[in-house]
Amino acid sequence: MYNDSMDLFIPGEETSGLFCTLYSDEQGNIFEEPDLAALGRSWDEMWEMESSDMIPMPEGSTIMVLPGRHSVGVERHKGEALCVWTYEEISGKGIERPGLAVAALLPIGFTRILAPAYVLDERKKPIVLPLYGYTAMAMRNGKPYVAALQTDDPSRWDPKEYNTSQLPELIEERISKSPNNRLLKQLAKCSSMYSCPTAENVFYKRWEGGIPVSPVCSAHCIGCISLQPSECCPSPQARIDFVPSVQEIAEIAVPHLEEASSAIISFGQGCEGDPLLQGETLAEAIACIRAETRRGILNLNTNAGLTGEMAKVCRAGLDSVRVSLISAREEVYTAYHRPFDYSFSDVIASIRQAKDLGVYVSLNLLSFPGLTDRKEEFEALSDLVDKLGIDMIQFRNLNIDPDMLIQALPAPQEDVMGMGKMIDSLRARFPHVRLGNFSPSSEEL
């Protein structure tokens, strides 16, 4: 259940700067409870929210009610964690019903500090949450706050820049120029049905445009956003079901690189598997594109398990690559990504190959509070960055049901640093490494 309107907040009493617990009734009305201090979640622990963790909820955030999960807070005078309770009149009798937990979905450019705290409804098995990046939120002095920090400039990804009234006309106009291009029709679907920013940018002729090329993947990541078994959570988008031709790829990429401002073409989108599984086609397409134009950036998002294919696409003229990983520790990486026919050592070899061939390498760090900011994770990540000469770390709030993740991964062992401190420590240790959320354009490299 989503709620984009602040009008549904029903405030409690003035709280003198304290962060108060939020909860929802079954109709989606959101209340604050001034007697309960708000909690957030780090892995499987509940932490009281502090000012250093919180920022006013950014414009473009979405609020989600979490079914089957009770809101929880700390009773201020007793220091005890309690569920929030609301009351509902049924047949003239007051019956206690737990308030539902709420969470924020952040716009791109903001990194989550804490996940939402809640208690599962013991009366029934809760549904698995849809695949989104749930962030803890609270109220203070009548205004919503989230446990997050800004880690990049989100202006190019402002929701107001997308889904404009001109988009349908722009889609129709572009497809009329290439009516047989299956990729354009796929991007039109991704724009209209899934509001994918990189798909829409192809039609707006600006910034980062996405081109999917692979219907299959080299891994079976827990919580994959484009392919899930029927008994799991619904995927937020459908995967491409064909391999495009070199001509179809170039027919979109060349005009975009030639005409768009801060032009990037990215292979490896949320609606596909791993592009390196189509390495021959991709390498040929990249060479074809670069024969036509040297403008802009050709970027690849990949699991990087296929070292030979990585070498092919890099030699063909790839400019940058972003490698997805949840951890620089092999046991955690393997438990989450569940790779087919490759290992973590192959990922390391692929990164080395790309660096040796002069390609700019970013890590797509899938982050979750209480995992990413553990001391052992920080040290392993730092070692990888140092040894491989990583150019950038891009933080991604992992889209997943928190309980699904905890059940699947080895339990963390060492102390939690906190996401903010972990990011500050990376900046201090690697001042030359760029930290952010977005792939850089040619002007930014």
The pLDDT, as a whole number, for residue 125 is: 80
Long-range CB contact pairs, 384-389, < 8 A, 24+: 384/328, 384/348, 385/426, 385/430, 385/433, 386/430, 388/348, 388/351, 388/352, 388/355, 388/361, 389/355, 389/361
- The pLDDT tens digits along the chain (445 residues) read 444 444 455 555 555 568 999 999 888 999 999 889 999 999 999 999 999 999 999 999 999 999 999 999 998 777 777 777 654 544 444 456 679 999 999 999 999 999 999 999 877 787 899 999 999 999 999 999 999 999 999 998 988 999 999 999 999 999 999 999 999 999 999 999 989 999 999 999 999 999 999 999 999 999 886 554 434 444 455 779 999 999 999 999 999 999 999 999 999 987 899 999 999 999 999 999 999 999 999 999 999 999 999 999 999 999 999 999 999 999 999 999 999 999 999 999 999 999 999 999 999 999 999 999 999 999 999 999 999 999 999 999 999 999 999 999 999 989 999 999 999 999 999 999 999 999 998 888 7
Calpha distance 154→161 (Å, rounded): 11
Strand ranges (E), 92-142: 93-98, 100-105, 110-112, 115-116, 119-120, 134-135, 137-140
Which residue, 391, 442, 406, 339, is CA-closest to 43?
406
The pLDDT, as a whole number, for residue 13 is: 53
Token representation of residue 22: 């939020």
Q: What is the DSSP string of 399-433?
A: -S-HHHHHHHSPPP-S-B--HHHHHHHHHHH-TTS
* Domain residue limits, the chain: 2-150, 155-436
The pLDDT, as a whole number, for residue 58 is: 95
Contact between 270 and 132 (Cβ < 8 Å)? no
Calpha distance 284→245 (Å, rounded): 10
Query: In sequence order, what are the residues at sequence separation of 6 or more whose Cβ sits closer than 8 angstroms to the Cβ of residue 395?
Result: 111, 151, 365, 367, 423, 435, 436, 437
Chain centroid to CA 97: how far?
Answer: 33
Stretch (H or E) spanning 184: helix 182-194
Contact between 30 and 102 (Cβ < 8 Å)? yes
Calpha distance 22→139 (Å, rounded): 7
DSSP, res 389: T
Instruction: State the fold for domain 155-436.
Output: TIM Barrel (3.20.20)
Calpha distance 177→170 (Å, rounded): 11
Q: 370 — alpha (psi -120 to 50), left (phi > 0) or beta? A: left
In this prediction the pTM is: 0.92
The pLDDT, as a whole number, for residue 173 is: 97
How many C-beta neighbours within 10 Å does residue 425 have? 16
Q: Render the burial of 80-101: b for 16+ CB within 10 Å, e for the rest.
A: ebbbbebeeeeeeeeeeebbbb
Question: Residue 95: helix, strand or coil by DSSP?
Answer: strand
Q: What is the DSSP string of 53-75?
A: GEEEPPTT-EEEEEEEEE-EEEE
Stretch (H or E) spanning 148: strand 143-150
Calpha distance 115→398 (Å, rounded): 10
- 382: burial class by Cβ within 10 Å (0-12, 13-18, 19+)? middle
Calpha distance 345→175 (Å, rounded): 42
Calpha distance 264→262 (Å, rounded): 7
How many C-beta neighbours within 10 Å does residue 404 have? 16
Q: 195 — alpha (psi -120 to 50), left (phi > 0) or beta? A: left
- Partners of residue 434 on adjacent β-strands: 392
